[in-house]
C-alpha cells in the first residue's frame, strides 16, 4: 500500500513552552511535541516503548525525555530508549516556517 | 575469514559467564551461537529470591541484555532447546528443527528442580522455584489464594518462604530433617534460624515426610507419611536440584551424577566441554555460582589455548538472602573426634559463631546474627590458614585484612573479581565510591555479600582521600557533588536557577536528568522561598499537573478534606462532578478522603472549577493527609478533640514543599485509631496532654514512630511540628522520608536541636515565611489561560485526506 506523507500545522512556535511537552492528536495517532532548550522542535509518538507511558508529560533534558511512568530515557531525535532499556518510538519530521510548526505524518 | 564455531547449550549464568571470559581472552576469534530454553537473555537467577521478596523486579535482574549479544556478534536463539547432539558429525539439532555445526561444544544446561515423586505432584498449584516463570506463577497465585506450603527447609525453600510471606500468604515450611539448612548449619544455628523465621511469621513442620498432594485438579492439601494432613492452595517444591544431563547421556557423553569433566572441564568426547551445575568435577557437583565462575574461567583459557592452571575444586560458602536474618556458613561444619572448635553463643542477642579446626588448620565456620566476619573467615578457610593466624587477625582492624590479602585473592566470589582487579580499577579509573567500583568491576553485583570488603579495599587504596570521598553520595549521575555540597554552594554563591547551579557547579550533562532537576528545584525553593520561581519543567508529572497520573495517562483527583471530615454539600458536589465527567471510579482512600480516578487530562481544570474545593495534594512532596479519629465529642475513650487538632494542623501546613511527602494523624487516646504511630508526624492525646511522635512510616519500609515530646496545649503542638518540619525541610536529602532522615541523623540529635526555644522560634519564622507564599494550585490554574493551554490541552489536528 502506498503511504502518503502529509504536512500538517501543529502549533505556534512562539506559544510553545520550552521543555514542556505538548500533546497533538492527528486522527488516531497521538504525538508528543517538544521545544528543546536549544530551540529545536521534536515530534515523537506519545507512547513509551515500555508500557505506553505518555511521553509528552515527561521531564525534558537536552534532546531526551524521561518517561513519567517508569523513568525510561527516550531520545527525541532518533526515538531510541537509552541503555540498559530497549525499544524505540516513531519520530516525525518537523519543519518551522515563520511561526508555524509543521509535522510530517 | 573462517571463524572457529562455538556452540553453547544453555543461556544461563555459568555458560554466559564463560563466554564473557572467552571474549576477554580472544575477542572476534570465534563465532559463538547460544541456545537457551528460556525466552529471556541471561539473568541473575540468584536474585529471583529478591524478586519474590519484592526487593527488585524481573526487569532489573538482567545480566546481559539483548544488545550485549548483538554487540559481541553472538547468535542467540532464545526459547529454543537443543534436542540432539551428534558428536561424530559435530552438530546440534533443536526443537525448531534447526541444525547448527560446531567446532567446540559447551554443555551448560544447569539443573532441574527435583520434584518429589509423590501422587499429586502434577496438580495445578504445584511449582518449583528455579526460573522467572516459577516466580511469576507464585506471584500470580498469591493474588488469588492465601495458603502456601514449601517442601524443603534448605536455602532455596527458606528464601521462597520469606518471599511468599511478603506476598501476603500464610506460609508453612515442611522439612524432612529436624534442623533447617542442615547441610550448611549445625543444630544451634539451625534452631536460632528457625526461631527467627517463626518470629517473622513462617510456620514449620519439622521431621515430616510428604506422602501425597491431594485435591481435584488444583492442590487442596498435603498428606504426610504419618497420616496427618494440612490444607494449602500452593505447593512449592524446594527439595533440591538434579544436574540436567539427559541430553549429554543420550549423546554418548560420560555421565555419573553430572556430566563428567576433567580439571579443564573437558568431557570424554573431544571438543565437548561441560560447565556449571550440570558438570561433575572430582566427584562434586556444585550448586553455587562462585565455583561455577571459576570453572568458566579455566575452560575459557583452555578453549582459547591459553596456559592456565586446572580447576582444583572449591570450598563452598553460603549466605541466606532473607532480610533481617544474617547467616553465613563455609566449608566443614560438623564436628568429630579429630576436630576442635572455637565457639561463641549469646542466646539473649541471638548471636552464634563456630569455627571448625582440624590439625590446627581452619576448615569451616558458621555465623548467625553477626556475619561481618564472613569474608575474613572465607579467605582464611580457603587457604587452610593456621588458627593462630585467625587469632592474630581477630585483633587487627578490618582494613588490615584488606591490606593483608594478596592481589590474586578473590573478593567477590559470585563475579570472580580479585583484589588486584579492584585496586587497579580504583587507581586507574579514579573510583571513589562503592557504587562506582560495583559498576566498573561487577564486584558485589550478584549477592552483595562482599560489600563490606569492597568498602574496606576502597578505604585502604584511597588512604586519606577516602573519608571525604566515600561519605558522600552524589545527587545523581550528572555530578560528583553530594546534596550537602550542592546546598552549601547554592547558599554561599547565591545561586537562583537550576541552569545556573548546573553551570557553576560543573554538571556533566547540559540539562540534568529526572533525578537532579526536581531535587535542585526543591533546594532552591527551600533556600529562597520568597524569590525563587518554581520551575514547572523540573517538576515530576504529578506535581506539574497537580494530579496523579494513572497508568493509562488519565489522572486522579483528590480534593482536600481537612481531617477526613466532610459535609453533605461537598459530597453532593463530588457526586455531581463524578456524573458530569463520567468518572470511572470513585474510591475512599487509605488517607480518609475521596479519590476520583480516570479523569481525562483535558477535563482537569473544569473538574476542579466545578468542585470548587482546594487540592488535596495527593500527588505532592508536601503535606498529604491528616487522619483523625472521632475524639472526645463522640468516643467514650476520647481525652482530647482530635478532629479540631487535626484540622488546625492541616490548615496550617498544607501546600508546604518538603523533601518527600509528609503524612500526619491525630488520635485522641493511645488506642490510636488514626494510626499516629506510623505517620511522619503522629499526635496522640492523653489526659491533659498531647504526645508527638515522629519518623513513622506505613509504606515500603514499615517503621514505628518515635516519641519526640509531650506538650500541653494545641499551640505547643503546632509550634513543635512547625520546628520539626522546617528542620526536616532544611536538612533532609530530596526524596528522603522522615523515617529515613530521623534514623540517619538520630532522634536524640533532633530532640536536642528542638529543645532550644530560640531555635524553635527561628525554624517557625522560616516555615511561616515559606507558607506565606504558597498558593492554591487548582484555583491558579483555572484562572490562568496560558497554563491551561500549555499543560492541559490536546491539540486536535485533522488530516486533509
Ligand atoms: C489513593 C491511595 C490508595 C487508596 O486508594 O487508598 C494511594 C495511591 C498511591 N500511592 Fe500511596 N496511596 C494512598 C495512601 C497511602 C498510604 C496510607 C496513608 O497515607 O495513610 C501509604 C502508607 C503510609 C506512608 O506513606 O507512610 C502509602 C504509601 C505509598 C508509597 C510508599 C511510601 C514510602 O515511603 O515507602 C508510595 C510510593 C512513593 O511515594 O514513592 C505511594 C504512592 C502512591 C501513588 C501516588 C503511586 C504513583 O506514584 O502513581 C498512588 C497513586 C494512585 C493514583 O493513580 O492516584 N504510596 N499510600 C491513597 C491516597 C491517600 C490520600 O487520600 O491521599
Ligand atoms: C532462587 C534461587 C536462589 C539462588 N541463590 C543463590 C545464591 O545466593 N548464591 C549462589 O551462589 N547461587 C544461588 N543460586 C544458584 C545459582 O543460581 C545457580 O548455581 C546458577 O544459576 C547455575 O548456573 P548454570 O549456568 O549452571 O545453570 P542455569 O543458570 O540454570 O542455566 C542453564 C540454562 O540452560 C537452559 N537449558 C537447559 N537445557 C537446555 C537445552 N537442551 N537447550 C537449550 N537450553 C537449555 C536452561 O533453560 C537454563 O536457562 C540460586 C538459585 C535459585 C533458583
Ligand atoms: S499500594 Fe499504592 S502504589 Fe501500590 S498499587 Fe496500590 S495505590 Fe498503587
Ligand atoms: S511506560 Fe515509559 S518507562 Fe514504563
Domain identity same for B643 and B741: yes
Residues of B numbered 530-569 whose beta carbons fall under 8 angstroms of chain A's beta carbons: which are they? 536-541, 544-545, 549, 551-553
B173 in any annotated domain: yes
Q: Are residues B130 and B27 in the same domain?
A: no
Q: Which residue of A has its CA nearest to B61?
A: A84
Q: In this model, does residue B799 exceed pLDDT 80?
A: no
CA B543–ligand 4 middle distance (angstroms): 18
Q: Please, what are the domains in chain A?
A: 7-104 (2.102.10.10)
One domain, residues B637 and B737: yes
Only one residue has cell 485533522, namely B798
pLDDT tens digits for range B179-199: 999 999 999 999 999 999 999
Neighbours of B496 (CB within 10 A): 15
In the numeric block, the cell 571513589 is attached to B432
DSSP B474: B
**Sign of the four-CA dihedral B632, B638, B639, B641:** negative
**Is residue B317 domain-resident?**
no
User: Quick one: which atom of ligand 2 is closest to the CA of B287?
Assistant: 19
User: Is B122's Cβ below 8 Å from some Cβ in A?
Assistant: no
Q: How far is the CA of B138 from the centre of ligand 2 (A)?
A: 18
Q: Would the annotation count B278 as a binding residue?
A: no
Whether residue B340 lies inside any domain: the answer is no
Asked if B227 and B249 sit in the same domain, the reply is no
Q: How high is the mean pLDDT of chain B?
A: 92
**Inter-residue contact B344 to B352 (CB < 8 Å):** yes
Ligand 3: distance of its center to the CA of B50 in Å?
A: 20
Quick one: pLDDT at residue B408? 81
Q: How confident is the model at residue A1 (pLDDT cuts 50, 70, 90)?
A: very low
**Confidence band, pLDDT 50/70/90 cuts, at residue B401:** confident
Write the pLDDT tens digit of every residue in B640-684.
999 999 999 999 999 999 999 999 999 999 999 999 999 999 999
Determine the pLDDT at residue B448.
67
In ligand 2, the atom with minimum distance to the C-alpha of B113 is: 53
Q: Is B205 found in the same domain as B67? A: no
Residue B545: its H or E element: helix B541-545
Give yes or no for a contact between B302 and B22, defined as CB atoms under 8 angstroms apart: no
Q: In sequence order, which residues have a C-beta less than 8 Å from that of residue B747 and are 6 or more positions away?
A: B694, B695, B706, B708
Whether B763 and B714 map to the same domain: the answer is yes
Last residue in a domain, options B425, B441, B471 = B471
Q: How far apart are CA B175 and CA B206, in angstroms?
A: 5
Average pLDDT over residues B81-101: 96
Q: Does B799 touch chain A (CB under 8 A)?
A: yes
Q: Does B3 score more than 60 pLDDT?
A: yes
Instruction: Indicate whether B525 belongs to any domain.
Output: yes
Which of B256, B287, B303 is a domain's end point?
Answer: B303
B414 is in an annotated binding site: no
Tell me: do B155 and B197 sit in the same domain. Answer: yes
> What CATH number did the domain enclosing B723 receive?
3.30.413.10
Q: Is the pLDDT of residue B395 over 60?
A: no
The answer to whether A83 contacts B67, with C-beta atoms less than 8 Å apart, is: yes
B589: in domain: no
Within 8 A of A11 by CB-CB distance, chain B residues are 795
- CATH number for position B141: 3.50.50.60
Q: Is B200 within the bounds of a domain?
A: yes
Domains identified in chain B, total number: 5
Domain extent, residue B517, equals 483-538
CA distance linking residue B355 with residue B342, whole number of Å: 5
Whether residue B587 has its Cβ less than 6 Å from ligand 1:
yes
| Mean predicted confidence (pLDDT) in B523-531 | 96
Looking at the structure, do residues B106 and B176 belong to the same domain, yes or no?
A: no
Instruction: Verify whether the Cβ–Cβ distance B549 to A54 is below 8 Å.
Output: yes
Contact state of B790 with A10 under an 8 Å Cβ cutoff: no
Residues B670 and B756 in one domain: yes
Q: Is pTM beyond 0.80 here?
A: no
Residue ending a domain, among B438, B471, B504, is B471
Q: What is the CATH number of the domain that holds B404?
A: 1.10.10.1100
DSSP state letter for B496: -
- Answer yes or no: is pLDDT of B67 > 60: yes
**Over residues B157-175, mean pLDDT:** 95
Q: What is the DSSP string of B146-173?
A: -EEEEE--SHHHHHHHHHHHHTT-EEEE
Tens digit of each residue's pLDDT (9 = 90 or more) over B238-280: 999 999 999 999 999 999 999 999 999 999 999 999 999 999 9
Q: Same domain for B92 and B166?
A: no
- Mode of pairing for the β-strands spanning B272-274 and B104-107: parallel
CB B570 within 8 A of CB B518: no
The span from the CA of B710 to the CA of B713, in Å, is 10
Shared domain check, B170 and B84 = no
* pLDDT (0 to 100) of residue B400: 67
> Does any domain span residue B183?
yes
Classify residue B553 as left (phi > 0), alpha (psi -120 to 50) or beta: left
Q: What band does B58 get if pLDDT is binned at 50, 70 and 90?
A: confident
Q: What is the pLDDT of residue B703?
A: 94
CB contact under 8 A, B511 and A86: no
Asked if the peptide bond before residue B327 counts as cis, ω within 30 degrees of 0, the response is: no
pLDDT of residue B407: 85
Based on the domain organization, do B229 and B136 belong to the same domain? yes
Residues 6+ apart with CB under 8 A from B173: B149, B150, B152, B153, B157, B158, B161, B197, B202, B203, B204, B205
**How large is the average pLDDT for residues A38-64?**
94
- Could you tell me if residue B784 is inside a domain? no
Amino acid at each position: 500500500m502506498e503511504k502518503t506523507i502529509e504536512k500538517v500545522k501543529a502549533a505556534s512556535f512562539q506559544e510553545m513552552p520550552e521543555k514542556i511537552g505538548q500533546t497533538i492528536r492527528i486522527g488516531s495517532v497521538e504525538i508528543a511535541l517538544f521545544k528543546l532548550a536549544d530551540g529545536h522542535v521534536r515530534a515523537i509518538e506519545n507512547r513509551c516503548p515500555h508500557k505506553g507511558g505518555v511521553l509528552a508529560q515527561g521531564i525534558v533534558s537536552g534532546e531526551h525525555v524521561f518517561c513519567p511512568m517508569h523513568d525510561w530515557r527516550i531520545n527525541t531525535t532518533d526515538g531510541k530508549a537509552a541503555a540498559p532499556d530497549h525499544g524505540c518510538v516513531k519520530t516525525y519530521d518537523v519543519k518551522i516556517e515563520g511561526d508555524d510548526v509543521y509535522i510530517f505524518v | 575469514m573462517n571463524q572457529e564455531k562455538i556452540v553453547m547449550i544453555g543461556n544461563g549464568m555459568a555458560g554466559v559467564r564463560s563466554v564473557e571470559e572467552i571474549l576477554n581472552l580472544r575477542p572476534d576469534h570465534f563465532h559463538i551461537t547460544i541456545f537457551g530454553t528460556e525466552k529471556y537473555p541471561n539473568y541473575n537467577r540468584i536474585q529471583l529470591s529478591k524478586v519474590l521478596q519484592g526487593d527488585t523486579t524481573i526487569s532489573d535482574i538482567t545480566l546481559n541484555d539483548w544488545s550485549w549479544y548483538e554487540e559481541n556478534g553472538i547468535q542467540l536463539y532464545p526459547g529454543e532447546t537443543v534436542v540432539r547432539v551428534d558428536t561424530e558429525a559435530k552438530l546440534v539439532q533443536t526443537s525448531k528443527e534447526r541444525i547448527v555445526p560446531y567446532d567446540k561444544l559447551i554443555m551448560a544446561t544447569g539443573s532441574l528442580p527435583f520434584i518429589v515423586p509423590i501422587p499429586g505432584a502434577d496438580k495445578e498449584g504445584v511449582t518449583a522455584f528455579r526460573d522467572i516463570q516459577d516466580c511469576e506463577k507464585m506471584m500470580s497465585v498469591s493474588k488469588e489464594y492465601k495458603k502456601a506450603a514449601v517442601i524443603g527447609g534448605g536455602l532455596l525453600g527458606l528464601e521462597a518462604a520469606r518471599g511468599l510471606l511478603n506476598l501476603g500468604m500464610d506460609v508453612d515450611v515442611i522439612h524432612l530433617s529436624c534442623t533447617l539448612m542442615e547441610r550448611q548449619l549445625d543444630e544451634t544455628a539451625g534452631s536460632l534460624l528457625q526461631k527467627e523465621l517463626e518470629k517473622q511469621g513462617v510456620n514449620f513442620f519439622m521431621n515430616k515426610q510428604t506422602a501425597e498432594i491431594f485435591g481435584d485438579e488444583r492442590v487442596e492439601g498435603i498428606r504426610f507419611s504419618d497420616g496427618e494432613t494440612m490444607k494449602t492452595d500452593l505447593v512449592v517444591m524446594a527439595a533440591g536440584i538434579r544436574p540436567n544431563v539427559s541430553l549429554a547421556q543420550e549423546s554418548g557423553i560420560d555421565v555419573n551424577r553430572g556430566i563428567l569433566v576433567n580439571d579443564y572441564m573437558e568431557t570424554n568426547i573431544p571438543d565437548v566441554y561441560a560447565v556449571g551445575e550440570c558438570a561433575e568435577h572430582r566427584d562434586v557437583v556444585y550448586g553455587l555460582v562462585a565455583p561455577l565462575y571459576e570453572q568458566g574461567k579455566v575452560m575459557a583459557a583452555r578453549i582459547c589455548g591459553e596456559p592456565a592452571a586446572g580447576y582444583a575444586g572449591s570450598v563452598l560458602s553460603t549466605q541466606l538472602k532473607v532480610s533481617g536474618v544474617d547467616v553465613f556458613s563455609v566449608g566443614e561444619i560438623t564436628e568429630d573426634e579429630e576436630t576442635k572448635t572455637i565457639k561463641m553463643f549469646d542466646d539473649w542477642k541471638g548471636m552464634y559463631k563456630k569455627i571448625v579446626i582440624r590439625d590446627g588448620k581452619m576448615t569451616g565456620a558458621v555465623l548467625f546474627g553477626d556475619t561481618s566476619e564472613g569474608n575474613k573467615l572465607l579467605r582464611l578457610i580457603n587457604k587452610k590458614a593456621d588458627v593462630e593466624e585467625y587469632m592474630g587477625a581477630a585483633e587487627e582492624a578490618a582494613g588490615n585484612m584488606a591490606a593483608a590479602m594478596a592481589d590474586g585473592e578473590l573478593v567477590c566470589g559470585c563475579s570472580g573479581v580479585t583484589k588486584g582487579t579492584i585496586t587497579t580499577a580504583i587507581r586507574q579509573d579514579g573510583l571513589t565510591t562503592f557504587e562506582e567500583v560495583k559498576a566498573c568491576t561487577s564486584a558485589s553485583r550478584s549477592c552483595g555479600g562482599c560489600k563490606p570488603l569492597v568498602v574496606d579495599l576502597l578505604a585502604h587504596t584511597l588512604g586519606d582521600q577516602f573519608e571525604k570521598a566515600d561519605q558522600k553520595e552524589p545527587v545523581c549521575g550528572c555530578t560528583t557533588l553530594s546534596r550537602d555540597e550542592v546546598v552549601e554552594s547554592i547558599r554561599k554563591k547565591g545561586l537562583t536557577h537550576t541552569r545556573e547551579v548546573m553551570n557553576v557547579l560543573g554538571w556533566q550533562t547540559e540539562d540534568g536528568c529526572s533525578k537532579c532537576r526536581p531535587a535542585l528545584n526543591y533546594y532552591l525553593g527551600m533556600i529562597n522561598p520568597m524569590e525563587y520561581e518554581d520551575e514547572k519543567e523540573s517538576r515530576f508529572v504529578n506535581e506539574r499537573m497537580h494530579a496523579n497520573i494513572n497508568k493509562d495517562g488519565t489522572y486522579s483527583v483528590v480534593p482536600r478534606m481537612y481531617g477526613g471530615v466532610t459535609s453533605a454539600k461537598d459530597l453532593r458536589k463530588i457526586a455531581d462532578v463524578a456524573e458530569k465527567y463520567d468518572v470511572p471510579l470513585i474510591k475512599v482512600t487509605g488517607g480518609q478522603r475521596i479519590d476520583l480516578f480516570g479523569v481525562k487530562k483535558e477535563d482537569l481544570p473544569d473538574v476542579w472549577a466545578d468542585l470548587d474545593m482546594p487540592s488535596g495534594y495527593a500527588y505532592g512532596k508536601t503535606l498529604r493527609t491528616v487522619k483523625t479519629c472521632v475524639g472526645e465529642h463522640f468516643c467514650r475513650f476520647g481525652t482530647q478533640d482530635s478532629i479540631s487538632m487535626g484540622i488546625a494542623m492541616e490548615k496550617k501546613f498544607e501546600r508546604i514543599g518538603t523533601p518527600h511527602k509528609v503524612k500526619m494523624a491525630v488520635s485522641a487516646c493511645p488506642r490510636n485509631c488514626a494510626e499516629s504511630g506510623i505517620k511522619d508526624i503522629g499526635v496522640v492525646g492523653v489526659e491533659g496532654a498531647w504526645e508527638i511522635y515522629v519518623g513513622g512510616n506505613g509504606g515500603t519500609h514499615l517503621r514505628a514512630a518515635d516519641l519526640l515530646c509531650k506538650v500541653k496545649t494545641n499551640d505547643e503542638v503546632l509550634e513543635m511540628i512547625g520546628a520539626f518540619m522546617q528542620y526536616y525541610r532544611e536538612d533532609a536529602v530530596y526524596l528522603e522520608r522522615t523515617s529515613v532522615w530521623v534514623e540517619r541523623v538520630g532522634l536524640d540529635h533532633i530532640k536536642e536541636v528542638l529543645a532550644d526555644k530560640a531555635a524553635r522560634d527561628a525554624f517557625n519564622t522560616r516555615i511561616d515565611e515559606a507558607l506565606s507564599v504558597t498558593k492554591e494550585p487548582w484555583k491558579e490554574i483555572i484562572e490562568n489561560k496560558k497554563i491551561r493551554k500549555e499543560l492541559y490541552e490536546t491539540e486536535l489536528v485533522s488530516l486533509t485526506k
